[in-house]
Amino acid sequence: MTDRRVLVTGGSGFIGQHAVQRLATLGWDVHWTARNPSPSMDLPGTGHNLDLMDQGAALKLLRELRPSHLLQFAWETKLGEFWESARNLDWVGASLHLSKCFAECGGRRFIGAGTCAEYQWDETPCDEQSTPLVPATFYGTCKNAARAILQAYFRNMGVEFAWGRIFWAYGPGEKCDRFVPSILRPLLAGKPARCRQPLQRRDLMHVADVGEAFSQVLLSDLQGAVNICSGTQQRLGEVAEFMADHLGRRDLLQLADTPEPARPLRLAGSNRRLLETGYHAPPAWRTRMAAFIDSAARSPAKSD
């Protein structure tokens, strides 16, 4: 085992690929997994074809690689279904088995990807130490259950453990019916764009910054839950207006307040613990969003 060998599950995914790229630039021996990875995937490190539901294959790979560190991103993410999908139970089981293999193979530090949906959503900024953990969805319940079990298990095994709770990531590769691409794609195509919840406030963070944040957590000695967020909140209507104005297409933007009873008006997190890892906050959201819009305008397919 080397001291700087990391395995990133879901390493070709929306967030995982950015963590892979960041750790590779820092000189780590990076290995990543994907189900049926394509030869055209332009990622550094070594890719491995792995379905984490195949426990035998997971154990075999961990025994071969014996990574010192592990970043676990793989989970059920099918949009519109994952919130209440029974598949979340399968992913709890797969994550627990992976973690057990990691510890038994001499692993030293495990970082799991959680979600802000583990928190009770009550309009106040979510804090790792004071906000109640009362998930409103099955997805959030399963993520929080996995976190609790892993935290206790790794403590008994003497393995370092941290759990990054992701808020609202956006960027290239995002599912097309999520907020940012649902506004940006039609604007780029010269079609009307509809912002359905303009009054909601969310903690938006570019996916490259999310990947860097996870990498920094892995490099640090921080343990326990840590919010992966910007520490700010933006009104979605203002973000939509910024996108339209940046493209000179405000005439195509429609703001229509469609209430979502299960969603709070404000949902943001404190990034105090994240900054303690040495992570540097990204540029102001307008600067980051403008750069993303310009990139998407040059290569529209990458904004899907």
Query: Model confidence over 239-250: pLDDT tens digits?
Result: 999 999 999 999
Between helix 285-298 and helix 236-246 the angle, nearest 10°, is 50
The correct CATH number of 172-203+232-266+284-303 out of 2.30.280, 3.10.129, 3.90.25, 3.30.160 is: 3.90.25
Q: Is the pLDDT higher at 78 or at 73?
A: 73
Phi-psi region of 188 (alpha: psi -120 to 50; beta: other; left: phi over 0): alpha
Mean pLDDT of all residues in 98-102? 98
pLDDT value of position 2: 76
Strand-strand pairing, 5-9 and 168-170: unpaired
Reported as a single tens digit per residue, the pLDDT across 269-288 is: 999 999 999 999 888 999 99
CA separation for the pair 78, 303 (Å, rounded): 18
pLDDT value of position 122: 87
Do 145 and 198 touch, CB atoms closer than 8 A?
no
CA separation for the pair 40, 109 (Å, rounded): 30
Task: Quickly state the pLDDT bin for 172 (edges 50, 70, 90).
Answer: very high
Output the pTM of the full model.
Answer: 0.95
Residue keyed to tokens 């030293």: 108
Beta bridge partners of 32: 8, 47
Mean pLDDT of all residues in 84-99? 97
Mean pLDDT, the chain, whole residue set: 94
Task: Quickly state the pLDDT bin for 39 (edges 50, 70, 90).
Answer: low
Residue of 258, 138, 132, 269 whose CA lies nearest to 202? 269
CA separation for the pair 40, 34 (Å, rounded): 13
Reported as a single tens digit per residue, the pLDDT across 186-233 is: 999 999 999 999 999 999 999 999 999 999 999 999 999 999 999 999
Alpha carbon distance, N-terminus to C-terminus of the chain: 39
Handedness of CA 42, 15, 169, 93 (dihedral sign): positive
Task: Quickly state the pLDDT bin for 258 (edges 50, 70, 90).
Answer: confident
Beta bridge partners of 164: 113, 226
- Domain 5-168+204-228 matching CATH 3.30.9.10: the answer reads no
Query: Residue 47: helix, strand or coil by DSSP?
Result: strand
Please report, for residues 78, 84, 87, 131, the alpha-carbon distance to residue 81 in angstroms, rounded to integers and kept in the order given: 6, 6, 10, 26
Q: How many CB atoms lie within 10 A of CB 196?
A: 17
Do 270 and 127 touch, CB atoms closer than 8 A?
yes
3-state secondary structure 20-41: HHHHHHCCCEEEEEECCCCCCC
Dig out the tokens for 248 from the structure: 């000179």
Domain spans in the chain, listed from the N-terminal domain onward = 5-168+204-228, 172-203+232-266+284-303
pLDDT value of position 14: 95
